[in-house]
Amino acid sequence: MVYLTLGEGYSGVYKSQVIDVCIHLRNEFDKDIKLVSIISLRNFFQERRKIKKEIEHAVILPMMPQFLGWLLNLPLLLLFFLFSKRYSVICRNVKATNLCLIIKKIGLLSKVCYDGRGAIKAEREEYLDNNGLKYHEFELNAVQKSDFRIAVSNQLVEYWKQEFNYTGSAHLVIPCTLGLSFTSSLLNEEKNIKVRKKLGFNKKDIVLVYAGSLAGWQSFNLIKDFLNYVLQKNSNVKVLLMSKRDENVNRILNMFPKDVVCTWVNHREVPDYLAACDYGLLLREDSVTNRVAAPTKFAEYLSAGLSVIISNTVVDYAELVEKENLGIVVDNYNLKKIIIDKVSYKEKINRANFSKKYFSKKSSLNIGKYKELLRALESDL
């Protein structure tokens, strides 16, 4: 079996959602799963080293420049599969899926699985290059013609039904599971206090953390308005931005110089910094992109014991927060109902335990889903 990615370089998300999944399937189920990564010529050897360091048997291929056309990646991929056994392939990208559908038609592949990470056409139209029509056919083919599908949320499956007339049942909803660096226990009260002190926060402070960039669908204006309301109302609330400095981050720091701290750490250090806080911020504006989303940081916040402050626009996870009492669901148009209390250590332990049950790759829930996925891709081979 092959897990194919196209155009994605190494990152924390790539490690947790691609590399760690391949390692997990190989170790947990004794499967010969091979990662094939087609990456940009820009920094090719540097990116190749990073991926190979994590998963030595990965096959790294150079990607043709985008302006030359996505189909020019087909010959090299054809060559790889021509001299391989007849694989089933999980494709993380709509273009990768379309390439594999062509190769399957030639007879070199057994099954093609589309790993749907979001609403691609809508994301293009709402946040990227307004070129959704170009991606409509890619996504339509991936959804309608693949043998099997993975969706990160129930709302994504609903989007497929409405946008692409998907009427089948050959799919599984598998959330963005935790990376291996989040699987060990992060809750060490003494260590958490030391990190807080390092950041300039005291024991009585209620610390909200935002991890990630503040671009596009991350809804900067919504976050800014939320912080403006909360920080004025609560003198003991502080904010940690785990983001790289950009224009948006600097604006927040200038608005709240005494209450907001910004830092950027290696992704391996992220869990310790999150665990030193109380609430994780996951505020998103209302859009198709956000309604079908399953942000990786939701699971990471919970695994660090954080309560999550989440917009009701992130539908699957907002419903989960309400059902399981995992934090605060925010109506973006009515922020004044929010009450932020100190999170007890017992509550933190409950959040962390829930994350292991729902988002760990090794939980019985997700083991069952991975087993079902493997059965679907290995049947009739």
| Per-residue pLDDT at 216 | 57
Clarify whether residues 48 and 146 are in a common domain.
Answer: yes
pLDDT higher for 185 or 57? 57
pLDDT higher for 289 or 380? 289
User: Which one-letter amino acid corresponds to residue 178?
Assistant: L
Clarify whether residues 156 and 256 are in a common domain.
Answer: no
- Residue 83 reports pLDDT greater than 90: no
**Cα–Cα distance measured from residue 177 to residue 248, given in angstroms and rounded to the nearest whole number:** 29
Count: domains in the chain:
2
The residue segments making up the domain with residue 137 are 2-177+361-378
pLDDT higher for 232 or 112? 112
User: What average pLDDT does range 130-136 have in this prediction?
Assistant: 76
**Highest averaged pLDDT of the listed ranges 9-23, 143-157, 248-262, 263-277:** 143-157
Give the CA distances from residue 339 to residues 237, 307, 335, 343, in Å, rounded to whole numbers and listed in that order: 11, 13, 10, 12
**CB under 8 A, 24+ apart: contacts of 67-74:** 70/95, 70/98, 70/99, 71/99, 73/6, 73/38, 73/99, 74/99, 74/102, 74/103
Clarify whether residues 355 and 370 are in a common domain.
Answer: no
| Per-residue pLDDT at 225 | 85
Clarify whether residues 131 and 231 are in a common domain.
Answer: no
Give me the CATH number covering residue 264.
3.40.50.2000
Clarify whether residues 19 and 122 are in a common domain.
Answer: yes
Q: Is the pTM of this model over 0.85?
A: yes
Clarify whether residues 118 and 189 are in a common domain.
Answer: no
- The Cβ-side half-sphere exposure at 204, using a 13 Å CA radius, reads 3
In three-state form (DSSP H/G/I as H, E/B as E, the rest C), the secondary structure along the chain is CEEEEECCCCCHHHHHHHHHHHHHHHHHHCCCCEEEEEECCCCHHHHHHHHHHHCCCCEEEECCCHHHCHHHHHHHHHHHHHCCCCEEEEECCHHHHHHHHHHHHHCCEEEEEEEECCCHHHHHHHHCCCCHHHHHHHHHHHHHHCCEEEECCHHHHHHHHHHHCCCCCCEEECCCCCCHHHCCCCCCHHHHHHHHHHHCCCCCCEEEEEECCCCHHHCHHHHHHHHHHHHHHCCCEEEEEECCCCHHHHHHHHHCCCCEEECCCCCCCHHHHHHCCCEEEECCCCCHHHHCCCCHHHHHHHHCCCEEEEECCCHHHHHHHHHHCCEEEECCCCHHHCCCCCCCHHHHHHHHHHHHHHHCCCCHHHHHHHHHHHHHHHCCC
Clarify whether residues 104 and 205 are in a common domain.
Answer: no
| Per-residue pLDDT at 245 | 84
- How high is the mean pLDDT of the chain? 90
Clarify whether residues 23 and 149 are in a common domain.
Answer: yes
Clarify whether residues 288 and 212 are in a common domain.
Answer: yes
User: What average pLDDT does range 253-272 have in this prediction?
Assistant: 88
- Residue 136 reports pLDDT greater than 70: yes
- pLDDT 10s digits, 315-371: 999 999 999 999 999 988 777 678 888 888 899 999 999 999 999 999 999 999 999
pLDDT higher for 127 or 289? 289
- pLDDT 10s digits, 153-202: 999 999 999 999 999 999 999 999 988 777 655 677 888 889 999 999 98
Clarify whether residues 210 and 291 are in a common domain.
Answer: yes
| Per-residue pLDDT at 2 | 96
Clarify whether residues 344 and 198 are in a common domain.
Answer: yes
Clarify whether residues 16 and 145 are in a common domain.
Answer: yes
Question: Is the distance from CB of 177 to CB of 360 less than 8 angstroms?
Answer: yes
